[in-house]
Structure 1
């Protein structure tokens, strides 16, 4: 199956600054790609390159098998895009702007538009200049979700939204995913990416440092173990794969553990007569911090 998005060795330089050094990843039909990294890592530059706003210096960049720079007009007919800070026409109402965006895209579902306005609790009769940042984001999201696209690109889409509206957005993304659409989601809310993404792409200093499913990437991080035994468990401290061992008393301890050593450590723990065991699996945030904490 041909990928919806395909990037290979994409590079981009602004004067002396190398914004993108080697960007390589792909997205398949019906797949949600979580695109994460710290500020300045190159997320927005990559997305603008995909949108044909910025011309790459080298490498391959295609959407639907078409070149993102040369065929940008054709590509844009089949995609929806929401940036992290939606700019609107101040003297138009939210409803008028949504209708304009839908018309520019080439259509849309009026019934779905109205339902989304209700779900996102937007007042469409207010002029855009009176909107908060969160309401501006709602306008962009409603306009994007109300049209039928093959690819949705979200760059920090829930910036300014409260947790309830973030949840509404996540539910809508799950719906379009179930409809077989592809989604590229760049977000600083790691729990959001963790909930929605099939695969995660981590970017650092203009390079892709990790890519894979959450299950594939979790072996790189450590689970947090809370353990209570009948016997002294201090010997656990010196086992391979055990880190940050804190012994509360002779029978209780909290430590982190490499997933690859889980079986060996638990085998030794069983010998000490386990009373209580709690294992908290690593989250996407753990993985993120592992690359950027320094």
Structure 2
């Protein structure tokens, strides 16, 4: 009669084999989809600034000359929304069934379309533009589609000034209310004073000050919301400040198939190590 340890061991083996089969099937489906698609995007999880424009990238790869591509058709749709976002076919826009939400706000680049690039320019981004968009391209050299997950945020540039030993950072529009941090050149957190003002629209402006700064001192100022982080390196000079600012954006939700294999490998090592 099998011992309880043997029963537990073989039960684990059965579960691991079943889980492995599911992962392999998932990988096979993923790779078969991507290999038949030939459609890529430079950024599948873009963040758009409300009121401004955003480019949703989508291109057929590898790129070819118009003579090789032949007639190229591009269609953009949005999940759970009737009509098209934008359609380009036979060398011209085809907008009879365009959803009114995107009227006069979306366009492609005809010269780029002829080379298999169907990237969409969306102007005056609204909060309701959040969502999953599908770009479909059909050409003589290939066809396929790719999903773009657009997210929207509110953020603005940062301005800095120094006077009487006080360094000031200001911004006119962020939403939701961001977190603000001052850091010394060695990474130590410093005590700044920040005042927020909330507009009726729910957008925040702020002024943040740091006292007792000196010439040639270097500070880092960071403002962060759920989707956007602005990081500025501020150097105090004899005549004012020198500033280097960069914005970074949160990555989209992801747990790649390769990441799924990590816990699987750990389980296998544990199971066979237990023997």
TM (norm. structure 2) is: 0.27
TM (norm. structure 1) is 0.26
Q: More helix per residue: 1 or 2? A: 1
Tell me which protein shows more strand as a share of its residues: 2
Q: Whose relative contact order is higher, 1 or 2, with alpha carbons under 8 Å and at least 6 apart?
A: 1
